[in-house]
Amino acid sequence: MTTRRFRLLSVLLLAALAIGPRAGLAAQGRVRVVATLPNLGSIASAVGGDRVEVTTIAVGTQDAHFVDPKPSYMVRLKNADLLLVNGLDLEIGWVPPLTQGARNPRILPDGPGYIDCSSGVRVMEIPSSLSRSEGDVHPYGNPHYLIDPLNAETVAGTIAEALKKADPGSAAIYEDGRKAFVKRLHEAVFGKELVDLAGGSKLAREAAAGTLDAFLDGTSLGGASLRTHLGGWLGGMQPLRGWPIITYHKDWSYFASRFGLRVVEYVEPKPGIQPSAKHLEELVVRLRQGDIRVIVTRPFVEHRSTDSLAAKTGVQAITLPIEVGGAAEATDYFKLFDYVTGQLLKAHGTAGPGPAGAAR
């Protein structure tokens, strides 16, 4: 009786196996891209245009460290041609079970479709020693690199190359998509005027080498230094250079370094560690010195600590997204920075965001 039931079940399973859809064919010839995080998804859409079908696993209001590896994500990954990951162990808690469960060898680590978008990125804060007594440290360095918009150029290059390999017939389209994205990015970061004068790639190189200031101040054009032509997000954020801020987690390092902000304290005593009453008291003392005027918190953490800090010291706490979709206004990678820089300028009391982001 039971044996018969087993036989019936086996026959049914084999029948379903035989009629199952064939894997490995892109729907309508488009490349199926799954991005772990919305910033990666947004850049992939910009580069790939309508040649790609991009789905994103996490949403912008979620903590990228702690996404739940739901079985339904495995189904999405099963037929993916490319999986874009942030890398640097940011998704260590949830991507491995998904790739292992997806039964898709293409997107396994070291598979041709597993794209670690951190490669080529200049990584900050690589710990010299590793110990969990320091909290949830990332052994390969700070993984929140896409909050520096200039790193998106590297990532767009990585994604374009991956798309070219996955779909060689459309290589020229992806190269055009990458170029257009990078041009738009440079104009958004430096302003169109400066990009037209000095060239976006030149500016990006100077910025990456940390010599942008010397270049802008040391080069004169029509009697005035190049800096007078600086626009975009960098130009708009100039009043905030050297401004001290407190952030909840260590996820603003790249942004602060790019825009010249100084992160002087963290609400978390150590990465991933819940703030203790003692640490909050120390922050109150620090905030009462009066030089810090803003606490930057995250959409996906408790607001009790930051609210109590704000209430005790009068320093305002603002919630800023670090991913596309983390705020209603941040609908794509460009709008994310339009929104973030706008909010910071507002907190600083400088005139609103204006057209700082050349993004349209």
Partner 1 sequence: MKSRAWLIVVSFSMAPGLCHPARGEEQVVQAASPGQEQANPATPPPNNEVEALRREIQELRDQVHLLQAQVTALSSTPPQGGEPARTSAAPPSAAPGRSQSLLNPAISAVFQAIGATSVSHDHDETNGFDLSEAEVAFQSVVDPYARVDLFLSFPSGESPDVEEGAVTTLGLPKSLQLKGGRFKSAFGKWNTLHNHAFFSVDRPDALTNFFGEESLTDDGLSLSWLVPNPWNLYIESATEVGTPRPGESFNVGRRSLLYLEHLSSSFTTSPSSTLEVGLSAARGRTGPSAHLSAALAECGGACSSLVPREELDSSVQGVDVTYKWKPLQLNVYKSFLWQTEVLLSRRDIDMLDTLAPALVPESVSSLGAYSYVEWQVRKRWKIGARYDLSGFPDDRTAREWGGSAVIRFQPSEFQEIRFQYKRTMRNAAAAARFGDEDEDNRIFLAWIPVIGAHGAHKY
**DSSP strand pairing (224-225 vs 220-221):** antiparallel
**Residues in region 4-43 near partner 1 by CB under 8 A:** 5-6, 9-10, 13, 16-17, 20-21, 23
Other beta carbons within 10 Å of 322: 25
* Residue from 53, 116, 265, 282 binding partner 1 (CB under 8 A): 116
Find residue 22's DSSP bridge partners.
Answer: none
The residue to which tokens 């460290």 are assigned: 65
Contact 324, 157 (CB under 8 A): no
**Residue 209 Cβ, how far from partner 1 at the closest point, in Å?**
4
**Residue 257 Cβ, how far from partner 1 at the closest point, in Å?**
12
Alpha-carbon span 315 to 239, nearest angstrom: 19
User: Which backbone phi and psi does 159 adopt, to 5 degrees?
Assistant: -65, -40
The smaller minimum CB distance to partner 1, of residues 209 and 351, is found at 209
Alpha-carbon span 230 to 36, nearest angstrom: 34
H or E element in which residue 34 lies? strand 31-35
The smaller minimum CB distance to partner 1, of residues 104 and 170, is found at 104
The smaller minimum CB distance to partner 1, of residues 67 and 267, is found at 67
Other beta carbons within 10 Å of 64: 23
The smaller minimum CB distance to partner 1, of residues 162 and 336, is found at 162
The residue to which tokens 């991507």 are assigned: 95
* Residue from 27, 273, 311, 328 binding partner 1 (CB under 8 A): 273
Alpha-carbon span 125 to 254, nearest angstrom: 10
162 binds partner 1 (CB under 8 A): yes
**Residues in region 167-206 near partner 1 by CB under 8 A:** 179, 192-193, 195-202, 205-206
Under 8 Å CB-to-CB from 23, ≥6 apart: which residues?
Answer: 78, 79, 104
**Residue 243 Cβ, how far from partner 1 at the closest point, in Å?**
25
Contact 194, 318 (CB under 8 A): no
96 binds partner 1 (CB under 8 A): yes
**Residue 26 Cβ, how far from partner 1 at the closest point, in Å?**
16
Torsion angle defined by CA atoms of residues 151, 152, 158 and 159, in that order, rounded to the nearest 10 degrees: 160
**Residue 97 Cβ, how far from partner 1 at the closest point, in Å?**
5
Number of Cα atoms under 13 Å in the Cβ half of residue 37: 31
Amino acid present at 245: I
346 binds partner 1 (CB under 8 A): no
The smaller minimum CB distance to partner 1, of residues 240 and 251, is found at 251
The smaller minimum CB distance to partner 1, of residues 225 and 331, is found at 225
**Residue 293 Cβ, how far from partner 1 at the closest point, in Å?**
27
**Residue 302 Cβ, how far from partner 1 at the closest point, in Å?**
6
Please identify, among the stretches 26-34, 35-43, 138-146, 328-336, the one whose residues bind partner 1 according to the rule CB under 8 A. Answer: 138-146
**Residue 11 Cβ, how far from partner 1 at the closest point, in Å?**
13
**Residues in region 288-327 near partner 1 by CB under 8 A:** 299-302
DSSP, collapsed to helix, strand or coil, labels residue 289 as: coil
360 binds partner 1 (CB under 8 A): no
Contact 27, 81 (CB under 8 A): no
* Residue from 36, 54, 94, 184 binding partner 1 (CB under 8 A): 94
* Residue from 27, 68, 311, 354 binding partner 1 (CB under 8 A): 68
* Residue from 61, 225, 331, 350 binding partner 1 (CB under 8 A): 61
Other beta carbons within 10 Å of 352: 10
* Residue from 71, 239, 314, 354 binding partner 1 (CB under 8 A): 71
